[in-house]
Amino acid sequence: MWNETIPEEIRKQIDENTYGLAMASFGGIPLKREFDNEDFCVVGIPYDTCTSRRAGARFGPRAIRAGVHSIAGINEKGIYSQDAHYVIRNLKGMDYGNIPVKNGYTEISFQVIYEHMKNILDHGCTPIALGGDHSITYPELRAYAESAGKPVAIIHFDSHNDTTDTPENRKFTHGTPFRRAFEDGFLDAAHSIQIGIRGYMDSHRLKFAEENGMEVITARELHKMSPEECAERIRAQVKDAPCIVTFDVDFLDPVYTPGTGTPVAGGFTSYEAYELVRQGLTGLDIRGFDIVEVTEDYDPAQITGLFAGYLVVQFLVVLSKNKAEKEGK
8-state DSSP, 187: B
User: Closest CB to Mn ion among 75 and 173?
Assistant: 173
Whose CA is closest to 296, among 70, 17, 55, 43?
55
d(CA 21, CA 213): 45
d(CA 217, CA 272): 15
User: Closest CB to Mn ion among 57 and 148?
Assistant: 57
Span of 87-95, 111-119, 127-135, 306-314 interacting with Mn ion by CB under 5 A: 127-135
Span of 3-11, 15-23, 237-245, 248-256 interacting with Mn ion by CB under 5 A: 248-256
Q: Is 140 in the site for Mn ion (CB under 5 A)?
A: no
d(CA 3, CA 8): 14
Closest separation in Å from C-beta 158 to Mn ion: 4
Which residues have CB under 8 Å from 112's CB, separation 6+?
99, 100, 101, 102
User: Closest CB to Mn ion among 120 and 294?
Assistant: 294
62-101 footprint of Mn ion as x/- string (CB under 5 A): ----------------------------------------
d(CA 91, CA 307): 22
User: Closest CB to Mn ion among 162 and 296?
Assistant: 162
- Dihedral, CA atoms, 326, 82, 37, 276, nearest 10 degrees? 60
User: Closest CB to Mn ion among 248 and 272?
Assistant: 248
Among 48, 158, 290, 296, binds Mn ion (CB under 5 A): 158
* H-helix or E-strand spanning residue 94: strand 93-98
Closest separation in Å from C-beta 53 to Mn ion: 12
Which residues have CB under 8 Å from 189's CB, separation 6+?
153, 182, 209, 212, 213, 214
Q: Are strands 86-88 and 79-81 parallel, antiparallel or unpaired?
A: antiparallel
Among 38, 39, 48, 162, binds Mn ion (CB under 5 A): 162
Closest separation in Å from C-beta 132 to Mn ion: 11
Torsion region of 215: left, alpha or beta (phi above 0 gives left; psi -120 to 50 gives alpha): beta
* H-helix or E-strand spanning residue 243: strand 243-248
Among 65, 134, 180, 233, binds Mn ion (CB under 5 A): 134
Q: Is 248 in the site for Mn ion (CB under 5 A)?
A: yes
Span of 7-15, 96-104, 209-217, 244-252 interacting with Mn ion by CB under 5 A: 244-252
Span of 15-23, 76-84, 247-255, 315-323 interacting with Mn ion by CB under 5 A: 247-255
User: Closest CB to Mn ion among 214 and 317?
Assistant: 214
Give the HSE-up count for residue 84: Cα atoms under 13 Å, Cβ half-sphere: 27
Q: Is 48 in the site for Mn ion (CB under 5 A)?
A: no
Q: How many binding residues for Mn ion (CB under 5 A)?
A: 4
Span of 48-56, 126-134, 183-191, 199-207 interacting with Mn ion by CB under 5 A: 126-134
User: Closest CB to Mn ion among 134 and 179?
Assistant: 134
d(CA 224, CA 234): 16
User: Closest CB to Mn ion among 86 and 110?
Assistant: 110
User: Closest CB to Mn ion among 133 and 299?
Assistant: 133
Compute CA distances 287 → 85, 130, 143, 145, 283, whole Å.
24, 15, 11, 10, 12
Span of 19-27, 85-93, 241-249, 316-324 interacting with Mn ion by CB under 5 A: 241-249
Closest separation in Å from C-beta 248 to Mn ion: 4
Interacting residues toward Mn ion by CB under 5 A:
134, 158, 162, 248
